[in-house]
Structures are given as structure tokens and as C-alpha cells.
Amino acid sequence: MSAQVPRTSFRTADVDEARQVIGEAFYSNFMDVLDGPRAFRAEFDIGQLGALTVGELSCGADVWMRVGELGAYHVNIPLGGHMRFRQGGGASTVATAQRAGVFQPVGDTVVERWTGDCRILAVKMDREALEQRLEQLLGRPTRAPLALAPELDTTRGPGRSWARLVTTVIEDLRAEPGAPPGQASLCASPLVAAPLQEAILSGLLLAVEHPYRDELNAPERRLRPAPVKRAMDAVQKRPEHPFTPAGLAAEARVGVRWLQEAFRRYVGMSPMAYVREVRLIRVRDELREAEPGAIGVSEVAHRWGFGHLGRFAEQYQARFGELPSQTLRG
């Protein structure tokens, strides 16, 4: 992460200009001003923090927005007023100063009314960054997409603490750009920016409801035995290797049955299922980074140890909710 944190401070009474700035910093959108007593006057202060885009935004007048699929996780924390939105054709959710609105990466997104008195703290989180952080905290791959609850209580407990952290970061990012070294924003330093990004990602995972939250909040996380760690390290280093249950047990220096039971207890899956999970993630990462037309799905799958392409495609779709060819095209 570079020491210079990109920042934008923008004021306009032109709806098209405001739409363009939101599109460049957050998401492409269509925006209309709704009937109301207030005149449109957008005020945006936006900063970049690694895989996060954060900002304080208001429009002055009531507006409607259509955004489409976000492709990222996102939270809006209103400081007043309210924002009513819906995703994927579901029921509407109302974000207020007491309950932040939480958005998923998938599903068409419509902001039905963003009131003119609603100034929001916005946090856009790269999808892969949040999902990888979850897997790091769990110490294992996840077997289903991360689905966050659409609301986060910011009046108490972890939700309030997380909102305060976001507030502090945004206030710091709004420090005067180009200030001399002794007076610049702390977030401009990679020594501070990287841990702050990790704290925001981890904090949200601990604060908002999702299927893995109870596991993350367990009062006593069981430490994995050394044989399990040895087997996991071997898989992480060489996921393409043709591992077998006996081979993994040899890496762990224990018996096959002991390793299988330990993996189910401490990892939540069998050793060979763990091998498959790691391979699938490596395939996904390579397909996401590939240039169009540079490689084929079969080439990548074979490279990471998948011999049966039909079964691989089924496993990939079950794991990520799309075919590998769709990931490559995306």
C-alpha cells in the first residue's frame, strides 16, 4: 500500500456531476431528484484505504438511485435522516442513525429514497478482501458464499464500536492533503493504513450477523494440534500435489484415522475436502487475474490438480455460485 492515500473532496449542485463522482469512487449509477422541500447540493469527502473506499456523503435533497450489482460488500451508516433500499428484488430495508444498511455484492441494488437530511458514512469493501479475511480468521476455507444481514445495530455492542472506528478513519482521511510530514493524516502511512484496513474488515465480520459469526465469536477457539497444522501447511504449499489420505497422514506424522478425526473436529471437513477447497480457491484466483483469451479453464484446472473437468465444474459452481467459465469472462 502506498503512503499517499487518494482523497476526493467534492461539492456540486449538478446531479450529473454528483453521479459521475459516485461512479468513479464507488459504483456506476442512475440518480434522480425526488420531490421535496430541499435543493440538491451534494457534498462528498472520499478516501481510499487499500481494499476499502470510505467517505462521508450527502445530497441535500431526496434522491433515488439505481446501482445494479455492486460487486463489493458495502455499509452505509446514516448520521441522520434515513435511506430506504432493496437488493435482488427482496423486501426494502431502511437504514437510520440507529441501524446501518449492509449491502451484498450480488443482486440489483435500488436506493428507493435517500433523504436530503441523511448524511452517510460509506464503506465499500473489496469482495475478495472480506472473504479472504473471513477465511484467515476461521483458519479454513469457507464452503458457502458469505451472506451478511442487511442491517447492523450501531447503538450498542460491536456494531457501535465498529461505527466509531469507521467514523475515526473517515475523519482522519479528511485531513488536509499535501500537509507536511509531521502534520499529515495518519492513514497516509502504510504502517497505520494496513492494520486499519484489517481492523475494519475483521470488525464488520464480528459485528454483523452472518452464518460464520458464532464461530468467530466463540469464547475459546480451539488451537489446532501440530499434526493438523503440518498437513494444512503441506497442502497450502503444494495444492497441486496428488495428495492421498495416507500421504497427508505421513506429512502430519500421524495415522490416517487420527488425522481424519482431527480435521473434522478442528477444521470442519475431511483432509481431502480441505485439499479440494484450497485447489478451488487457487483456480478462482488465477481465473480472476487472467487476461481474456490468455488461458482456458481446463488448463488452469489441470494445473491445480483437477483431472475430471466435469466433476470439477460441478464442485466449482457449488462452491462459488458460478461456472469457472463465468469467472474467467468476468
Q: Which cell numbers in the block locate residue 303?
A: 494445473
pLDDT tens digits, one per residue of 116-136: 999 999 999 999 899 988 987
> 301 pLDDT exceeds 60?
yes
pLDDT at 4 over 50: no
* CATH superfamily to which 226-329 belongs: Homeodomain-like (1.10.10.60)
- Asked if 78 and 64 touch (Cβ cutoff 8 Å), the reply is no
pLDDT value, residue 154:
96
pLDDT digits (tens, 9 = 90+) for 252-275: 999 999 999 999 888 888 999 999
Predicted pLDDT at 178: 53
The pTM of the full predicted model, rounded to 2 decimals, is 0.70
With 0-12 / 13-18 / 19 or more C-beta atoms within 10 angstroms meaning exposed / middle / buried, residue 329 is: exposed
In this structure, is the dihedral angle defined by the CA atoms of residues 247, 249, 252 and 254, taken in order, positive or negative?
Answer: negative
Amino acid at 238: R
Q: What does each C-alpha distance from 316 to 139, 238, 311, 326 come to in angstroms?
A: 21, 19, 9, 11
Residue 111, pLDDT > 90, answer yes
What are the grid coordinates assigned to 271, written together? 483432509
Confidence at residue 220, expressed as pLDDT on a 0 to 100 scale: 46
- pLDDT surpasses 50 at 5: no
CB-based burial label for 122 (10 Å; 0-12, 13-18, 19+): buried
Q: pLDDT by residue (tens digit) across 62-109?
A: 999 999 999 999 999 999 999 999 998 889 999 999 999 999 999 999
Mean pLDDT, the chain, integer: 88
For the chain, give every domain's residue range.
Answer: 7-214, 226-329
pLDDT digits (tens, 9 = 90+) for 201-246: 999 999 999 999 988 887 545 567 889 989 999 999 999 999 999 9
The Cα–Cα gap between 94 and 20 comes to 25
CATH architecture of 7-214: Sandwich (2.60)
Identify the pLDDT of residue 175: 60
Q: What is the dihedral of CA 25, 26, 32, 34, to 10 degrees?
A: -110
pLDDT at 308 > cutoff 50 = yes
